[in-house]
Amino acid sequence: MAQTFDDRDGWIWMDGKLVPWREAEVHVLTHALHYASSVFEGQRAYGGTIFRLTDHSTRLRRSAELLGFDIPYSVAEIDAACQEVLRANDMTDAYMRPVAWRGSESMGVNPGGTAPHLAIACWHWGKYFDEEKAARGIRLDIAPWRRPAPYTAPVQSKAAGLYMIASLSKQHADARGFDDALMFDWRGQVAEATGANAFFVRDGKLVTPTPDCFLDGITRRTVMDLARKRGIEVEERTIWPEELEGFEQMFLTGSAAEVTLVQSAGPWNFEVGELSRQLQRDYDDLVNGRLINA
């Protein structure tokens, strides 16, 4: 049986101090549990260095602000806490999860005087997708749920509530034998996967959906920079599903997924090609300190 996340050795940073892993608890009437007033980050450490840590900590604070609460720690303090957690758990390569939420001081749709909390955990987490499958390219279902319009939700916040449809879509894909799902937005345009941004290749150029109703991922921007350094043109624009037939390659990007190659999305098939593999190698070299002038 896989080890559960509530029963592990180690330390979690919680509201300013390290506590034993099993003691990092919140009350059942915590506002975030009932009304999704929670934001989080997913980031990775490679060789003891947390990749683009300050960017993640900055986005965490901004995500909370978009949900109407302030995290009572500065970006620098969150950075330092993340590094403290990594050291306390004696890890150099790890996945990290900072999470902020409203507490249990009041209950109701209006969060009232609920106090903000912050916790940070880390653990060993290998490749997000099965390595053998990922080597030949994963298979995506088409999600039954769509990304909401920006006037219906705080779409630029990495908010826990916005992942409900992603979770449902991932479960749906798994049940049908797929590795993940490609999500469209409320207009029917191509958006992203359930937890990663999408890129396509045609005629040596990268094309990626404009992130106007989903996160402009930190890994997404990193890969765009890597592509431009190689002289690869990158175009952000609207992509309609009927265009997918004309794209040659596809890959996903995310802190957990890193750069993951895709062989198919619904009825559309893609080559697992050299341009995608090169950017995958470049990203791996960058995060592991082998790409110096990035």
Question: Which CATH number fits the domain 11-123, given the four candidates 3.30.70.100, 3.30.1360.10, 3.30.470.10, 3.40.50.40?
Answer: 3.30.470.10
Q: Which own/partner pairs from 188-192 qualify as long-range (CB within 8 Å, at least 24 positions apart)?
A: 188/146, 188/240, 188/241, 189/238, 189/239, 189/240, 189/241, 190/239, 190/240, 190/241, 190/243, 190/244, 191/146, 191/147, 192/147
Output the pLDDT for position 121: 98
Output the pLDDT for position 292: 59
Q: How far apart are the first and last CA of the chain?
A: 42
72 C-beta neighbours (distance < 10 Å), count: 13
What distance in Å separates the CA atoms of residue 6 and residue 22, rounded to the nearest whole number?
6
Catalytic residues: 158
Tell me the pLDDT tens digit for each residue of 280-289: 999 999 999 9
Fold: same for 11-123 and 131-287 = no
Residue 128 has pLDDT above 90, yes or no: no
**pTM, to two decimals:** 0.95
As a whole number, mean pLDDT of residues 263-278 equals 97
Superfamily of domain 131-287: D-amino Acid Aminotransferase, subunit A, domain 2 (3.20.10.10)
Q: Which residue has the higher pLDDT, 249 or 112?
A: 249
What distance in Å separates the CA atoms of residue 239 and residue 232, rounded to the nearest whole number?
19
Output the pLDDT for position 293: 53
Q: Which of 15, 90, 85 is nearest to 53 (CA)?
A: 85
What distance in Å separates the CA atoms of residue 253 and residue 251, rounded to the nearest whole number?
7
Phi, psi of 203 (to 5 degrees): 55, 40
DSSP 114: P
Quote the percentage of the chain above a pLDDT of 90.
Answer: 93
Q: Where do the domains of the chain lie? A: 11-123, 131-287
Sign of CA dihedral 162, 64, 239, 229: negative
Q: Which of 196, 180, 175, 190 is nearest to 252 (CA)?
A: 196
For Cα atoms 129, 134, 185, give the angle at the middle one, nearest 5 degrees.
70
Tell me the pLDDT tens digit for each residue of 28-84: 999 999 999 999 999 999 999 999 999 999 999 999 999 999 999 999 999 999 999
